Structure 1
């Protein structure tokens, strides 16, 4: 690597490290809130959120690997790793719908459970955007700016459909392998008869637009931060 390329890569490496430390601190907060609740109430009500956060970390881990090794990774490996990323990607924004579990419970302040679930939902959203940033950059480097944004838009819409499949039909990412026929049938029926499944397309479009607007906002804020002051 040339000295100029190394000089350009060092700021990116620092930014990556800062992002990992910040996400790690935020995830630790969620884990601490869940753990304290268990000791406080002797109940496992929200322990499932730890599993959901772990699933949300998988696409971020895959996109980080692709982003770091993009220049050295062979092209034939990009497609299977990218498909694995797309398969697990909906698990990150899916945590937003865990707000459905918020209700008043005896023995715990309502505000505490709200903060607990919001922290997990926030982490899911940030992992969504951080992961998509890497993947969009990878696509844009190979196919151009427009292709990068088309990819990001399609990925968020597909993830919103995945949220519907997970929240309302109770499918998981691994059902592609363990239960492919039922998954394929339910998806095909909603594609062929959309008017019979208004909730499927309502969730997909509403969450898709919400996630896309949020992602575009995060991207714009990042560019504003990079502009030199006059």
Structure 2
């Protein structure tokens, strides 16, 4: 099923839990930094350029913002959000990041997101139960939706890249074949002329040789036979 069409139902949460989530939404920088630090521990992400790493941090901010926003009665994932995440996945593909590493990065970000929520209700048992029984199933569905999106976009981009390479390889092969065929045709056309020129050159050499012999004997070459 296409995850862009699958609607993830947002659960109803209490006003008290919504207030805690709003605090996290208003000051997300600490959570974003923790998610970013965990993602950079993945080898392929650690090797990215500085600008690419900044792009990773930006998309983590987008992810955290959309999660918190969904808790505050905003749509879970809009079409524009899906497009933004899709563009981000495509950039990772062209930077050589594997699908496994992208999914690991998502899992680490979700782990930090969950730990941040646990910290919000650390000393409040009722809110802790609500977080466990109401919010955690939604987080799992949200995570699964993101997993499907990443896998679909990644495989689609890899397929396009592979198809582009195949088409380029065919075009280069056609050009090479056409070049060899043109060379063969030119050689075939030049061969009769080469034989004629070679025969003419041989005749001229024999004629010059005969004249030289005749002159050497003091009379024209034709008179030696009379």
TM-score w.r.t. length of structure 1: 0.34
TM-score w.r.t. length of structure 2: 0.34
